């Protein structure tokens, strides 16, 4: 296999790892939704075994652990592959950061069980999950042909401040996901999540608007930004539906499957939204930088961080 073939295979493998991570995020959301976080009281084993009877909440909690284990193995293999075949040192280092993140995430998961869901740890577990997803997605991007094409600046780069806006939208989305985690674990009320949804939604919408109005129709970044807009619309709809279903089923003792599924879909779509926004940010930066138009925060469009 030539180096291009290896690179393509590595890229596809990184996508597979990112997909498995998204599945893991959904499994985690199901654990919270079905209140099964402590259905298995021990860790790292489950009821002292590797495979307890998968009944009730044990199915969700142990299922989450099994998927997490799979993602851990996939990530380890990805990092080994990167260190073996990837020529760029910074990509190797990024892979190592992802591996450290997945190990830290496993430890946080264990702490949530052993210390019976301490709220800061549980919220950190949720935030690190999103961070890890972003890291793996970044690895998938930087090993992709699109990343190389962006460096060739074949297309007209976006305005220098476009990537600043995209970065702000990505940061806002990350904060919004953290607020969502705080809401789910009852550290905060609904207010901050609602208010910040407006801020994050506005920024993401602005990114989409600028991409659509300023970039060429065939531009890949424009297409990606359109996807971003579509995911944003879906996410808003799921957020409203999640609130409505919760309101309707309020007072019912046991977790309602409809609420659990919608809330889990809301969480997973939020991760997709964050990931897509990060891809837009990184690609925009790559193209702006390739064109030598990276603006400094001092406002000089010709200066670069270099």
* Site for other proteins, rule CB under 8 A: 34-42, 47, 52-53, 55-58, 61, 88, 90, 93-94, 97, 115-116, 118-121, 123-124, 127-128, 131, 134-135, 138, 142, 151, 167, 170-171, 174-175, 178, 181-182, 187, 252-255, 282, 285-286, 289-290, 304-306
Least gap, CB of 124 to other proteins (angstroms): 4
Measuring CA to CA, how many Å separate 180 from each of 17, 176, 177, 198, 253? 24, 6, 5, 13, 22
Least gap, CB of 254 to other proteins (angstroms): 4
Pick 108 or 231: Cβ nearer other proteins: 108
Q: How many CB atoms lie within 10 A of CB 206?
A: 14
Say which DSSP state 185 is in.
Answer: T
Pick 233 or 249: Cβ nearer other proteins: 249
- Are 162 and 156 contacting, i.e. CB atoms less than 8 angstroms apart? no
Pick 57 or 239: Cβ nearer other proteins: 57
Distance CA 210, CA 282 (A): 16
Least gap, CB of 23 to other proteins (angstroms): 20
Pick 70 or 304: Cβ nearer other proteins: 304
Pick 234 or 290: Cβ nearer other proteins: 290
Measuring CA to CA, how many Å separate 199 from each of 184, 204, 268? 20, 9, 20
Q: Judging by beta carbons within 10 Å of its beta carbon (0-12, 13-18, 19+), is residue 87 exposed, middle or buried?
A: exposed
Least gap, CB of 69 to other proteins (angstroms): 20
Least gap, CB of 138 to other proteins (angstroms): 5
Helix (H) or strand (E) holding 280: helix 257-290
């Amino acid at each position: 296999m030539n180096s291009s073939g290896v690179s393509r295979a590595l890229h596809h493998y990184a996508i597979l790892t990112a997909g498995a991570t998204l599945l893991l995020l959904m499994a985690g959301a199901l654990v919270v939704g079905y209140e099964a976080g402590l259905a298995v009281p021990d860790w790292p084993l489950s009821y002292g075994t590797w495979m307890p009877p998968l009944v009730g909440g044990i199915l969700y909690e142990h299922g989450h652990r099994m998927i997490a284990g799979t993602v851990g193995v996939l990530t380890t293999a990805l990092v080994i592959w990167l260190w073996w075949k990837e020529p760029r040192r910074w990509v190797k280092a990024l892979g190592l950061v992802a591996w450290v993140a997945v190990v830290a995430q496993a430890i946080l998961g264990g702490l949530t069980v052993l210390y019976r869901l301490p709220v800061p740890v549980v919220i950190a577990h949720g935030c690190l999950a999103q961070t890890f997803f972003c890291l793996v997605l970044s690895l998938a991007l930087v090993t992709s042909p699109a990343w190389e094409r962006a460096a060739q600046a074949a297309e007209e780069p976006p305005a220098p401040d476009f990537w600043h806006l995209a970065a702000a939208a990505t940061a806002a989305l990350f904060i919004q996901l953290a607020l969502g985690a705080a809401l789910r674990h009852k550290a905060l009320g609904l207010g901050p999540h609602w208010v910040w949804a407006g801020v994050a939604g506005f920024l993401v919408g602005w990114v989409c608007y600028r991409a659509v109005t300023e970039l060429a129709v065939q531009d890949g970044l424009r297409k990606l930004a359109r996807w971003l807009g579509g995911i944003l619309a879906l996410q808003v709809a799921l957020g409203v539906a999640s609130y409505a279903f919760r309101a309707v089923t309020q007072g019912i003792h046991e977790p309602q499957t409809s609420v659990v599924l919608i809330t889990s879909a809301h969480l997973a779509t939020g991760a997709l939204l964050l990931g897509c926004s990060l891809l837009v940010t990184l690609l925009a930066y790559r193209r702006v930088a390739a064109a030598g138009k990276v603006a400094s925060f001092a406002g000089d469009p010709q200066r670069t961080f270099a």
